[in-house]
Amino acid sequence: MDFKLTKEQEMVTLAARRFAKEVCEPIAEEIDREHRFPRETFNLLSKYGFVGAGFPKEYGGTGNDKIAQLIVVKEIAKVCAATSSILSIHQGSINCLLKFGNKEQKDKYLRKLICEGMVGAFALTEDNAGSDASNIQTTAVEDGDSYIINGTKRFITGAGQAGVYIVLAYTEPEKKTRGITAFLVDSDTEGFSVGKIEDKMGICASHTGELVFENVRIPKENILGKYNKGFKIALTSIDDARVLTVGAQSLGIAEGALELAADYAKSRIQFGAPVSKQQGLQWYLAEMATKLEAATWMTYHAAQMLQEGNRISKECAMVKLFTSETARFVVERALQIHGGYGYMKDYAIERMYRDVKITELYEGTNEIQKLVIARAVLN
Ligand SMILES: Cc1cc2nc3c(=O)[nH]c(=O)nc-3n(C[C@H](O)[C@H](O)[C@H](O)COP(=O)(O)OP(=O)(O)OC[C@H]3O[C@@H](n4cnc5c(N)ncnc54)[C@H](O)[C@@H]3O)c2cc1C
């Protein structure tokens, strides 16, 4: 394996870094404080091809690979985790359509999602179906050439912002996970509404909320993938997201926090010298940098394997587990290096400390990653 970025990947890094610095960073604190979805940023991400990184040119993408997608999310997460979350979960819904959609569905949605500013969302979780996703209660009952969906989804990223939702519902509940089907639901469909938007601890600008389905009639042509194969779609999509959403986001947050910590340590004077001269803090920085280096290679390696079309559930779970724990460790140490100032909202590290926690929770909690890894080890 080549451990160097290609010229194209280097160019993507520079472009994404510049966008993050010029567009995302200046409003990161404001959209966090106001819990405001950054619609204008999302439109620019679309316009400048960052949403399209890693997607085919035929649908408006930039045609490069999954490493480019990872790089864009990482660079944005360095300055604004909420925006990186909005972007990467949206890209997850595009990935899903690209993999499982038929030609008509791709023609109908992909351009809108990739370069025309439409937001996509993925709706699996419910009140009593988090880690145990098979316990969903949402049903889709056949009625002529349609299905009638009833149920309520919870904690859905993009709720109220998305134009199309990928919704998982039981079509044959007695068959358990082999009786779940994925549907494409347009946001203006009769009977569909958005319920409570959650008041969260972090990634506040990324809206997370409830979706309510009351006798929502969905034509059969809106089945995504095959009938009763929705759970497989969910599992495959989650594998990708563990690397391209959580892995990329964790690396970005950790890189950002390490840079802030090093800069702060060099500028903060105590006992007549920068605190960076204290060997205790140097050891913190050394540990942070070392863990981040390991997490980085692990994530790029998994992204490359996904790019080559491998099914690598164990490696994806390992990336999710290790990068998120690394990011939390790095951010916590970075805040410690800031001393009391790090506890104040005037400093970005305070926001990062709240934001980083999500990486250990969504796309399957870290306990669930350990189950996946242990199962593979014991197989
Ligand atoms: C900000 C945010 C955004 C989200 N976005 C989306 C989205 O876009 N789409 C979507 O479908 N979902 C989304 N989710 C849902 C997310 O994936 C779930 O919250 C997550 O899977 C955990 O489910 P839960 O919250 O119900 O926790 P629970 O499953 O109730 O878990 C509670 C605790 O028990 C542990 N646990 C549960 N089962 C086991 C087990 N078998 N072994 C060991 N420990 C176990 C868990 O690890 C956790 O510590 C989002 C969540 C958040 C917070």
The Cα 57–Cα 37 span in angstroms is: 28
* pLDDT, average across residues 337-355: 98
Residue whose Cα lies nearest atom 12 of ligand 1: it is 125
Chain segment 270-296, per-residue pLDDT in tens = 999 999 999 999 999 999 999 999 999
Residue 122 in contact with ligand 1 by CB distance below 6 A: yes
Res 265 pLDDT > 80: yes
Confidence category of residue 2, pLDDT binned at 50, 70, 90: low
Instruction: Report yes or no: 65 and 54 within 8 Å, Cβ to Cβ.
Output: yes
* pLDDT, average across residues 249-262: 98
The Cα 153–Cα 74 span in angstroms is: 28
Instruction: Report yes or no: 181 and 223 within 8 Å, Cβ to Cβ.
Output: yes
Chain segment 207-236, per-residue pLDDT in tens = 999 999 999 999 999 999 999 999 999 999
The Cα 379–Cα 366 span in angstroms is: 20
State how far the alpha carbon of 128 is from the alpha carbons of 122, 132, 371, in Å: 17, 8, 20
Res 320 pLDDT > 90: yes
Distance 220 CA to ligand 1 centre (A): 30
Res 3 pLDDT > 90: no
Confidence category of residue 64, pLDDT binned at 50, 70, 90: confident
- Beta strand 119-123 with 162-170 is parallel
Q: Which helix (H) or strand (E) holds 59?
A: none
- Active-site positions? 363
Distance 155 CA to ligand 1 centre (A): 9
Which pLDDT does position 4 carry in this prediction? 86
Distance 124 CA to ligand 1 centre (A): 11
Confidence category of residue 1, pLDDT binned at 50, 70, 90: low
Summary mean pLDDT of the chain = 97
For residue 215, report the phi and psi dihedrals to the nearest 5 degrees.
Answer: 50, 50
Residue 131 in contact with ligand 1 by CB distance below 6 A: yes
The neighbouring-strand residues paired with 153 are: 211
Ligand 1 atom closest to the CA of 168, numbered from 1 = 11
Q: Which of 161, 199, 211, 365 to mutate to test the pocket of ligand 1 (most atoms within 8 A of CB)?
A: 365
376 class by beta-carbon count within 10 Å (0-12 exposed, 13-18 middle, 19+ buried): middle
Q: Which helix (H) or strand (E) holds 246?
A: none
State how far the alpha carbon of 7 is from the alpha carbons of 48, 256, 306, 336, in Å: 19, 23, 20, 37
Residue 364 in contact with ligand 1 by CB distance below 6 A: yes
Distance 134 CA to ligand 1 centre (A): 13
* pLDDT, average across residues 42-69: 95
Residue 371 in contact with ligand 1 by CB distance below 6 A: yes
- Structure-model confidence comparison of residues 126 and 1, the more confident one: 126
Chain segment 134-188, per-residue pLDDT in tens = 999 999 999 999 999 999 999 999 999 999 999 999 999 999 999 999 999 999 9
- Identify the DSSP state of 229: B
